[in-house]
């Protein structure tokens, strides 16, 4: 992760030069260019701030970052080197790098620059010092999150503590509203929870996730989309601690938010699948009462993709396989086998007849035949599986060797003992071969 950030870091100066350049695009009329050149800096600054927000909302993150870089340059022109507004511009850019591009090194650099400016800042006597403190809160929170991303947990906790202390002081002085304070607390508690989770301290993380959710629901409402990341991360910690009921309930809460917000079919599918998987994990830990939940949400996740084509069809078949595995481990082998048989033709069409998905289906169907005492059918399917795996991975791959061992065991069964053994035939590659690397496990 650090290497990718460092490679981006080398382009950082070029990005700044490009961002503040007055060179117009080829299709920009000269009159518009003259207007841009002679526009007062403060008007340019306001325009750049609005553009940054607009690009960010449209997920045009590179353009948003360029506007934030322009804001840094224009703020320096408008307010000078030692004004706290310049620190605020660096904080905004740091947040952009962190949230929009995931570049924690650049984010940390700009946050530290903002800290240096604030330390020596000249605040005019007529300015509201509360704004400077609010900027400091954002600064310390951003530094904390950047340090967290860099796995500097102690440094992250120290900066988050400073942000939390400052926000509490502002609340006590009446400089921020209770609602704004709760919003800050929600973000800070979530970041603290992530710090503890990064340190593998799940119990400490749990209490902070719970507080973050409480503050978020109070400030934004329990149906807010902003609750989603908290609910999902909280459910993950609860599952790790064996709190399966709570985990499933929080994932269901997140799923309802997604459905009420009329999100995309893919989001709804993934959300339903998360609930199903949590229920399966609970069943595996000795909680069979969650069987119906798993069944319902597997079906719901597949329903969102049933009519899909291309990649959507591939995802549907992948979830269907996961559902079949659930059926097998819960004693519904006959139903699972029926679905697997019906899926074979679709898998050949989507993945190719020489693909890991088709090989795995033959392996599972072989196991089903073996369980029913159909040794001949099991042998045929296992042989097909072995042929595909030999072509895909080679005879020495662990998957191929495991299938070969199963074949050897099968040949020791009295019914098969008299039949001659044949090595797997390497069929010539055809157009349906899926491209998979031998390193895939």
Looking at the predicted structure, is the pLDDT value of residue 414 above 80? Answer: no
Looking at the predicted structure, is the pLDDT value of residue 77 above 50? Answer: yes
pLDDT at 420: 54
Q: What are phi and psi of 193, to 5 degrees?
A: -60, -40
The burial of 125, by beta-carbon neighbours within 10 Å (0-12 exposed, 13-18 middle, 19 or more buried), is given as exposed
Smallest Cα–Cα separation from 287: which of 279, 295, 275?
279
Looking at the predicted structure, is the pLDDT value of residue 235 above 50? Answer: yes
- How many Cβ atoms are within 10 Å of 418's Cβ, its own excluded? 7
C-beta of residue 366 within 8 angstroms of C-beta of residue 403: no
Whether the model pTM is above 0.85? no
Looking at the predicted structure, is the pLDDT value of residue 5 above 60? Answer: no
Sign of CA dihedral 391, 397, 399, 401: positive
Q: What are phi and psi of 344, to 5 degrees?
A: -60, -45
Give the pair of three-digit tokens for residue 108. 């940390």
Residues 170-208 pLDDT 10s: 999 998 999 999 999 999 999 999 999 999 999 999 999
In residues, how long is the chain? 441
pLDDT at 72: 96
Give the lowest-confidence range in 4-18, 225-239, 389-403: 4-18
Give the mean pLDDT of 285-303: 95
pLDDT at 415: 63
pLDDT at 410: 85
């Amino acid at each position: 992760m650090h290497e990718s950030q460092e490679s981006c870091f080398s382009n950082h100066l070029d990005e700044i030069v490009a961002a503040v350049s007055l060179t117009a695009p080829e299709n920009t009329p000269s009159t518009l260019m003259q207007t841009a050149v002679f526009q007062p800096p403060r008007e340019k600054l306001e325009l750049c701030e609005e553009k940054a927000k607009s690009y960010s909302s449209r997920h045009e993150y590179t353009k948003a970052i360029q506007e934030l870089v322009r804001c840094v340059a224009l703020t320096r022109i408008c307010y000078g080197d030692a004004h706290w507004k310049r620190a605020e511009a660096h904080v905004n850019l740091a947040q952009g790098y962190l949230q929009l591009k995931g570049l924690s090194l650049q984010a940390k650099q700009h946050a530290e620059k903002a800290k240096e400016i604030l330390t020596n800042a000249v605040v005019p006597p007529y300015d509201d010092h509360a704004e400077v403190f609010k900027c400091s809160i954002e600064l310390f929170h951003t530094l904390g999150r950047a340090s967290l991303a860099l796995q500097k947990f102690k440094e992250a906790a120290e900066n988050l503590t400073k942000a939390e202390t400052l926000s509490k002081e502002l609340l006590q002085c009446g400089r921020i509203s209770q609602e704004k304070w709760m919003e800050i607390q929600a973000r800070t508690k979530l970041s603290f929870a992530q710090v503890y989770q990064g340190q593998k301290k799940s119990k400490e993380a749990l209490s902070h996730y719970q507080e973050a959710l409480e503050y978020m629901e109070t400030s934004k409402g329990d149906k807010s989309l902003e609750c989603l990341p908290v609910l999902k991360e909280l459910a993950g910690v609860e599952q790790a601690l064996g709190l399966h009921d709570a985990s499933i309930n929080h994932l269901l809460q997140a799923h309802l938010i997604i459905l009420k917000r009329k999100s995309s079919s893919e989001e709804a599918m993934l959300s339903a699948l998360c609930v199903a998987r949590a229920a399966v994990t609970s069943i595996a830990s000795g909680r069979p009462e969650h069987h119906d939940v798993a069944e319902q949400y597997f079906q719901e996740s597949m329903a969102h993709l049933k009519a899909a084509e291309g990649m959507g069809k591939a995802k549907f078949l992948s979830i269907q396989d996961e559902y079949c595995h659930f059926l097998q481990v819960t004693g519904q082998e006959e139903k699972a086998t029926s679905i697997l048989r019906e899926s074979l033709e679709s898998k050949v069409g989507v993945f190719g007849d020489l693909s890991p998905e088709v090989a795995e289906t033959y392996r599972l169907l072989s196991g089903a035949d073996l369980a029913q005492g159909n040794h001949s059918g099991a042998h045929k399917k296992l042989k097909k599986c072995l042929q595909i795996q030999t072509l895909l991975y080679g005879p020495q791959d662990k998957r191929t060797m495991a299938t070969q061992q199963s074949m050897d065991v099968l040949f020791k069964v009295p019914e098969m003992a008299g039949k001659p053994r044949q090595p797997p035939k390497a069929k010539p590659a055809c157009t349906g071969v899926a491209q998979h690397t031998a390193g895939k496990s």
